Amino acid sequence: MNVVLAVSLLGMRALALCGFLGRTGRTTDLAEWAVGQRNFGTLAMWFPQAGEVFTTFSFLGVAGVAYAGGNAATYAMVYLALAFLLLYFIQPRLWRLGERHGYLTQADYFTQRYGSPLYGKVIAVIGLVFLIPYLQLQITGLGMVVGLVTGSTAAGRLSMVLASVLTAGFVLWSGIRGLKNSVYFKDVLTLGVMLVLAIAIPLHYTGGLGEVFRRVHEVQPQMLTVHSGERDRMWWTTSVLTSALAGGLMATPHHWPPLMAAGGPRAIRGICCPPAGRRPGWRSTTAWSSWPSRSPSAFCGRGCWPTFSCSR
């Protein structure tokens, strides 16, 4: 067993341990397991929500889109800004309904609002069926990452099996409190890795992020534009709209329990528009109206990118 694999397995076990330790008491109440006591504050809410955003897609999916389609990858930050704009207004309303009627899941909402238990069951089945490929995507991505860094396909498969068993175990044992504990650990590590990828590596190999984009502009300037091809303007626009509506309208079932666990509308709005995130969030949103210029500065503002022009 090489060092990288040993560290990966140790990290998985530490993550699972955090999850198992999240259980409080011997309660067998489903509401406690699913949404706690509906008292999560802003910080406790932010980490589970960030855990849904900073997934394998953050490292493989968006990076793959950037590698293949260049500036088309900016759709991710635009759709997230638009989705949270919708959530700022929608989630507090859903939370109030959930507290009043005892919602635990997405299916509970449809059952109560439409007065049809059958409709709620259909929604639950549809949500489960379409959630399975999403889970498979995350597990497969984990295996690909471990296999890549260790140089061993067997190590990738082992990590997939171990991660699946440990995750299922601590979720069944601790419920949403185990999820909250584990994402504290995972998100801190994730943010650290993102800082290394965005700052340390460019500084080490090229002298800074600006130099990276200057070199890309010299070698493949089309990568700094939303250009024609598989990921053209139409792909960018439809991807933004589809993803923003799905995220902003709570279309996915796994987003509902963390919402129902919130302590109130104030905690929810705190994660949709935190003071430290308002300015970058606003810039991402305003990119929606300026994206046809296809200039990198349109998405991040002046001073964030090298001062070069991109040809149309």
The secondary structure element, H or E, covering residue 182 is helix 176-195
Cα–Cα dist 179/48, whole Å: 7
Cα–Cα dist 170/180, whole Å: 11
CA 145 to chain centre: 17
Cα–Cα dist 303/207, whole Å: 16
pLDDT band at 28, cuts 50/70/90? low
Find out whether 252 and 131 touch, Cβ atoms under 8 Å. Answer: yes
pLDDT digits (tens, 9 = 90+) for 123-166: 999 999 998 988 888 888 888 888 888 888 888 999 999 989 99
Q: What is the pLDDT of residue 116?
A: 95
Beta-carbon contacts of residue 36 (< 8 Å; ≥ 6 apart)? 175, 176, 177, 180, 261
pLDDT digits (tens, 9 = 90+) for 32-64: 888 988 888 888 888 777 666 666 777 778 888
Task: Please list, residue by residue across 24-34, b when 16 or more beta carbons sit within 10 angstroms of its beta carbon and e when fewer do.
Answer: eeeeeeeebbb
**Statement: residue 293 has pLDDT above 60:** no
Q: What's the predicted TM-score (pTM) here?
A: 0.78
Q: Which of 186-190, 247-251, 258-262 has the lowest mean pLDDT?
A: 186-190
Cα–Cα dist 11/185, whole Å: 10
Enumerate the H helices of 102-208 as residue ranges: 106-114, 117-150, 153-174, 176-195, 201-205
115 to 97, 245, 278: CA distances (angstroms) = 14, 25, 39
Residue 93 CB neighbour total at 10 angstroms: 11
Taken as a whole, the chain contains a residue count of 312
pLDDT digits (tens, 9 = 90+) for 187-238: 888 888 888 888 899 999 888 888 988 998 898 888 888 888 888 899 999 9
pLDDT digits (tens, 9 = 90+) for 69-128: 888 889 988 998 899 899 999 999 999 999 999 999 999 999 999 999 999 999 999 999
User: Which two structure tokens, joined as six digits, stand for 71?
Assistant: 């500036």
Enumerate the H helices of 54-116 as residue ranges: 56, 62-69, 75-101, 106-114
Task: Please list, residue by residue across 169-203, b when 16 or more beta carbons sit within 10 angstroms of its beta carbon and e when fewer do.
Answer: ebbeebbbbbbbbbbbbbbeebeeeeeeeeeeebe
Cα–Cα dist 148/99, whole Å: 45
Partners of 2 in the β-ladder: none
Cα–Cα dist 71/223, whole Å: 6
The mean of the pLDDT values for the chain is 81
Cα–Cα dist 20/185, whole Å: 13
* Rg of the chain taking only CA atoms, in angstroms: 21
CA atoms within 13 A on the CB side of 20: 11
Partners of 40 in the β-ladder: 262
Q: What is the pLDDT of residue 71?
A: 87
